[in-house]
Chain A
Amino acid sequence: MKLTLKKRFLPWVLCAAVLSLSSCKTQLAPEYDKAIVAGLTDATQKTMYFFATMEEGTTAETYTDRALSYNQLIGAYDALSLQAKARPVPDNVATKKINELLQSKGSDPLSSDYPSAFAFTKISETLKKMREVDQADGIKPFALLAFKGQVLIFLDQAITYESFLKR
């Protein structure tokens, strides 16, 4: 079967072809980090378990039962955010050329703020807000669904990105 390239990816292919003539191998994204993925897998399981324990919403009276879990999860995501940000940003001729190309087309350059690090920070912020609401008034069912949805969407972004770094 003859395979054809999608039109929208042709500029990327051409860009790679042009760059390949000018220098040796390059790195455009950070290294895959097994420790981050292991930490993320562990935190994801604990987060899912935590949400499963309060499916019908919560009351402020029982907040103390959950206080430790909030603190552990927030700590885990803050640590993951630090680990993700600590990786060096690839800085080479190829990255500069791509950023010039993207900017000339009106697009933002490749960001040094990794999407997984951003997602970890947002998950931590979501859990902090959840803890605040839980402690003050308890969490009502729809609010709980929205907190869970927000955490899961950011988790998917982080898991997809970190897994994809394994070339």
Chain B
Amino acid sequence: MSDVASIIKDIKDISTTILKKDITVVKGFSERQVEAIAKQTVIITEGVASGDIDEELKKFFFDGLKAMAENFVNTLKGILSVTLEKLYNALVDKLWSIVGSVV
């Protein structure tokens, strides 16, 4: 029969394996997005200063910045919901296999 300590260890191992892999993706994505959004802001500012971007386009690009920041957060939430689903299902599998082994 499984003891509490080994069940806790199994759950921790499952969680750590899934989280470690997914955090790498989240970190890479976040870094790329933050850098790209910062660069985009500089391009718009320089474009306005040089006259390449007029008032109407400036508003269009500022609205774009707002939308991309909002969707950056929503993408992170979407990714986390997949991670949560993987965690949840892996834990269900583990707990059910423990229950199944004693029934």
Contact = CB atoms under 8 A, between A and B. Distances in A.
Interface string B5-19: 000000110011001
Contact of A16 (B16, B39, B57, B88): B88
A68 interface: no
Contacts, number: 143
Interface residues of B, number: 50
A149 B92 contact: no
B85 A141 contact: no
Interface of B: 11-12, 15-16, 19-20, 23, 25, 29, 32-33, 36-37, 39-40, 43-44, 46-47, 50-53, 57, 60-61, 64, 67-68, 71-72, 74-75, 77-89, 91-93, 95
Interface of A: 3-6, 9, 12-13, 15-17, 19-21, 24-29, 94, 98, 108, 110-111, 113-115, 118-119, 122, 126, 129, 133, 140-143, 145-146, 149-150, 152-154, 156-157, 160-161, 164-165, 167
